[in-house]
Structure formats: structure tokens, C-alpha cells
Structure 1
Amino acid sequence: MGFLDALFGRRKQIQPNLDDWFALPSAALELQAATGFTPTGRGAVCFTGVEGGQFARLKQEIRELLDTDTAQGGEPVEYSQDRYGYTWLQVEQPPDDLPALVNDLHTINSMLQDHGWGPQLLCSLVGFTGPEDSAEAGRPLGLVYLYKRGTFYPFAPREADLRDNALELRVQGALEHELPLEADLSRWYPLWNSPALSGP
């Protein structure tokens, strides 16, 4: 068992309610009102390594299902592996169309779950950025969904692998009535390697 698996709740799995994702667009409005942070349009799903022809076919199926923008020549889903060996599926939508991004992430989670790879799912993340003309302009912020816990938590990275705990607690206060938040702060794991928090 990897350390991410333990932190993300593999030892005590709770049946996730993926429909909680659909509360995210309204929660994002509350987040913007409280902090000024807005969606970047980027999101990602993280899971433990899966190999073989069956998974290759599923990846192609996901690409075909989400491929609504072939005119621009881009892939609807980008796959990458971080330094710990975990696989990331990244998707992108216009920043002002968070419902479309939520639908994509919900679809990916559902397809992996329905094809029997639910135990490999670790988390998903939606990226936000700080308000322009402020000290937090361009600052990344992620809302992370823990698949095996069925909860969300904020992650606010800073330079040199530091994090902004004060901002994370502000986000917690803003969203405590909007989303099922993770009460155990020891599970607010820092996702330094998430492609959804990298620059455009």
C-alpha cells in the first residue's frame, strides 16, 4: 500500500456519492465571493497504476466520449505519471464553464468505477486561481475530492513545497455548508504533482 493510498482512505473505504460533484459550480460561486478565487478550467483524476489491454481500451473510450473539441486538435484527456508512480488524467474546459468540467470529471470517475477500477481511484481535483490585481493574483488553489472518503478539501500550494494553511481554512469556512468537507485535517494531503495546478 502506497502512502497516498493510506492517506486517501484505502483502509476504511466509504461508498462515494459521485453526484456530490454537481454541487461544485454553486460552491465555486461562494468561493469566489469569499476569496476572489475563480476556476481555471483544469481538472484531474489520480489513481494507482493500471495496465493491460482492457485499460488501454477504456482510455480510448474516455477520449472518444469526451472528445468534443477535435476542431482545435487537442486531446480531451491527457495522461501522465508523477514521480510516485501514480497516473493522472487531466481534462480542460473554458474557465467560465465549470459545469462542463464537472461533467467530465464525474464521467471519468464513473467510468473507472463501473469498469471495476474503483479501488484504484484516489482523488480528483479542480483548479482555481487567485484574483487579478491582488496579492494573490495567479496563486493556485485546488479543491480535492477524496474518492474513498466521499469528501472534499482545499489545497493551496506555495513556492518551495509550502502551503497556505490560512487560505485553506478560509476556503473551508466558505464551503462548509456547500460541500461535504473532509473533517480530518491529516487527510488534507498536499498534491504537489497535480497537473491541474500547473500553469497553462
Structure 2
Amino acid sequence: MGLRLLDILLGRTKPVAPDLDRLFALPSAAITLEAAAGFTPTGNGAVCFATVEGGAFAQTHREVQALLDADSDRGGPPVELRRDDYGYSWLVSRRTPDQLSALVNDLHAVNSAMEVNGFGPQLLCSVVGFEDTGGRRLGLVYLYKRGTFYPFAPLAGRGERRDNALELQIKAALADDLRIEQDLGRWFPIWGAPGL
């Protein structure tokens, strides 16, 4: 009890435990997103983690592949492993745009498999891609260690620049649908994220 009081007095807080079930709120949030801003799912999503090597990870990757390959409605390639220019790894899933619920299930399965096999500390985020009729892209990013979401809107053809006004608009629109990350300093850019 004394330690908790000391934590409060010093402004320390316990980290929020990841709650992967929050990913299941994305399909209803997508309805709000389309109505409020005209963005629809692309069918692309990915899980980002700090790169790991070795047999244990290779086995986990095979398990994830087998689990997702068993889904006969997949309609596309299996989950693929990619590395970005910043040294992070991405397990990418592609579905048709009308299969958002199945895509969310894929992302949940990947995160869960990584967590169960001891790779939870390496998990960083998951992202689901959206776009509007004008070709603007948007990712809804789930921060694994925070248990929160934030929008990421890269500006096409403008290098590493983002549409901050759009991100704030989406934050306001989805406030009732998703647990939005309130600390804007944690809205990390995910340049080069596959599927965005």
C-alpha cells in the first residue's frame, strides 16, 4: 500500500496491460469513420514488432502462417514477413476491403501467437489501412503497450509529412468508438508501414 502511495506522490503510473480484444472494436469504428470522413477499409493490416531472430521466432511465424492459411476465405496470399527501413519487422495480412472483421481476427491471432510464445515485449503496434475516394490514406494504429489507438495520415507524395488536421478530425470522430491515445507525443509516425 505504501509503495502505491509513493507512486502516486511521485507521479508514476503502472503501464496499461495490453488488451488485444480492443482490436475487435475496429469494424464498428470503421462504420463511424466512413460516415464521418468518407474513409473505407483497404483490406490491409499489419503487426509491427522489434526484429527477432532465431528458431523460436521462425517456429512462431510458421504457426501463425498455418493458423491463417487454414482460413479458406482468405482470398489472397498468406501473411508475409517484411522488414522496413528502420529495422522493424511487420507481419502483413491482406484481405478484400469487405473483410475487415476477418482482417482484425488475423491481427488478433498474430499478436496472440507472438504473446503466447514469449515475444510480447517485442510487439509494438498493429495497423489497419483505410482510404477515401480522393486517395488519401489513413492508418488506425493500436499501440500494444498502451492499449490505445491513434490515427496516422501520411501525405502522399510529400516525403515524410503527415496530415495533422485529418488526424485530429479522426481522433474526434472516433472518440466514442475506440480508446484513443490522449498523449499526442505517442502518435508515432509509421513511415513505410506495409499496407498503408
TM superposition score normalised by structure 1: 0.86
- Aligned match of 2:33: 31
SS for the counterpart of 2:195 is: helix
The answer (yes or no) to whether the contact 1:13–1:148 under 8 Å persists in 2 is yes
Mapped contact 1:42–1:101 kept (Cα < 8 A): yes
User: Which structure is larger by alpha-carbon Rg, 1 or 2?
Assistant: 2
Residue 84 of structure 1: how far off its partner (Å): 1.5
RMSD of aligned alpha carbons: 1.7
- The partner residue of 1:84 within 83, 86, 89 is 86
% identical equivalent positions = 59
Deviation string 1:87-116 (CA, Å, 9 cap, x unpaired) is 011001110110000000001011101111
SS of 1:161 mapped into structure 2: coil
Q: Which amino acid aligns with 1:173?
A: A
Alpha-carbon spacing, 1:166–1:71, altered in 2? closer, same or farther (3 Å): closer
Q: Where do 1:185-200 residues align within 5 Å?
A: 185-197=184-196
Letter of the 1:138 partner, please give it. G
Partner of 2:51: 49
Q: Matched residues in 1 for 2:34 and 2:88: separation?
A: 31
Q: Which runs of 4+ in 1 moved over 6 A?
A: none
Instruction: Work out whether residues 148 and 181 of structure 2, in 8 Å CA contact, stay in contact via their aligned partners in 1.
Output: yes
Contact 1:69–1:76 (CA under 8 A) maintained in structure 2:
no
Determine if contact 1:27/1:178 at 8 Å carries over to the other structure. yes
Report what 1:122 is aligned to: 124
Alpha-carbon offset, residue 14 of structure 1: 2.0
CA contact (8 A) 1:63 1:75 kept: no
Query: In 2, Cα distance between the equivalents of 1:14 and 1:49?
Result: 23
Structure 1 regions of 5+ residues with no counterpart? Answer: 1-10, 132-136
Q: Which amino acid aligns with 1:35?
A: A
SS at match of 1:189: coil
**Structure-1 separation of matches of 2:52 and 2:126:** 17
The partner residue of 1:152 within 132, 149, 152 is 149
2:178 is the counterpart of 1:179: yes
Equivalenced residue count is 181
